[in-house]
Amino acid sequence: MSELHPPAGHDPAAKNESAAHHEPNVRHTPERRRAGRGHLRFFWNLLFKALRKVGSHAENFYAVVGIFLLIGAAVAVAGTLAFAELGKHIQKGATQDFDVAVLQWIGTHHTPLLTSLMNEITPLGTGVVVLMIVGVTAAFLWHTEHKHSARLLLASTAGSILLNNVLKFWFDRPRPTVFEWQTHAASSSFPSGHAMSATVVYGTVAYLLARLQKHLWSRALTLTAAVVTIALICATRLYLGVHYPSDVLGGIVVGLAWSGFCMATLEASLVLARRRAPAKVVDERPAPIEHAVAAENASASDHGASDRPASERVATA
């Protein structure tokens, strides 16, 4: 019997390859986004994880951008309304009794050691220190090709300084005189500039760094350090007698509203940039620490190979 041969020009492998090319395109996400990026479930990462998930399945590109901008506007509006309500109560004097009672209690618990410690911590929220942190962080982000993040940090910081000065001028609340101040202070009291700048700067820096990290523990550590730093700075303003509790609360609320809007704007701008610019510019990759690890592993592998007997190296070759 004669053997059956496939028709000329018929290649099953080529047919399979052609069929594979006609399959629907599969969206591949960068490895760094697959490695634990969506598992952090607190603070702002929870919000933006959900938004990125929705955005990844959205068919309309402009709908994705709109989602980020809409949630940023919602956060800003909610924070603004809460701040406006608090400001209204302050202007009516509704918080004064509570504010004074809290400061009186704090004044009875002053100690020389604690006063010295608070005076060491409170400069972390001053303009010079905050601007230095912003400058160093922005330079690092820019140098490691995270230029959108660097721009966001600079814009959010400049905006918070301008906004705080406008709000202080508008409310013009006198500073407390419950007990003698333990540090120097200027300008009006509401909202607290230290509380607002700490919330915006340390919160934004922590967010930008955490979104570039692959491991859950490192993200949690970064965000926890930011929260603790903000809380300590806010506590010093009460302990030193230069702010009422409502001043500090107002600074935190408006700081969260402004930084939340900036973070949402960053995510929207990255979606736009990925559409319009090369991936290497807008991918916002982490610092190349993995390359160093890979080099160390390769070096260790080479050393291990050199330690083997010559016969094994020859057999392997």
Give the catalytic positions in this structure. Answer: 194, 243
Tell me which DSSP letter residue 110 carries.
-
Residues 264, 68: Cα–Cα separation, whole Å: 5
Residues 114, 44: Cα–Cα separation, whole Å: 32
- In a 13 Å sphere around the CA of 293, the CA atoms on its Cβ side amount to 4
- In a 13 Å sphere around the CA of 229, the CA atoms on its Cβ side amount to 22
3-state secondary structure 182-204: CCCCCCCCCCCHHHHHHHHHHHH
Residues 238, 25: Cα–Cα separation, whole Å: 58
Cβ of 127: how many Cβ atoms within 10 Å? 12
Helix axes 216-239, 43-57, angle to 10 degrees: 140
Q: Which stretches of the chain are DSSP H helices?
A: 12-21, 31-34, 43-57, 61-92, 96-107, 112-121, 127-143, 147-171, 193-210, 216-239, 245-276, 279-282, 289-307, 310-316
Residues 238, 107: Cα–Cα separation, whole Å: 9
Beta-carbon contacts of 253 under 8 Å, excluding residues fewer than 6 positions away, are 79, 82, 83, 86, 191
Helix axes 193-210, 147-171, angle to 10 degrees: 160
Instruction: Judge residue 163's burial from the number of C-beta atoms within 10 Å of its C-beta, 0-12 exposed, 13-18 middle, 19 or more buried.
Output: middle
Q: Compute the residue count for the chain.
A: 317
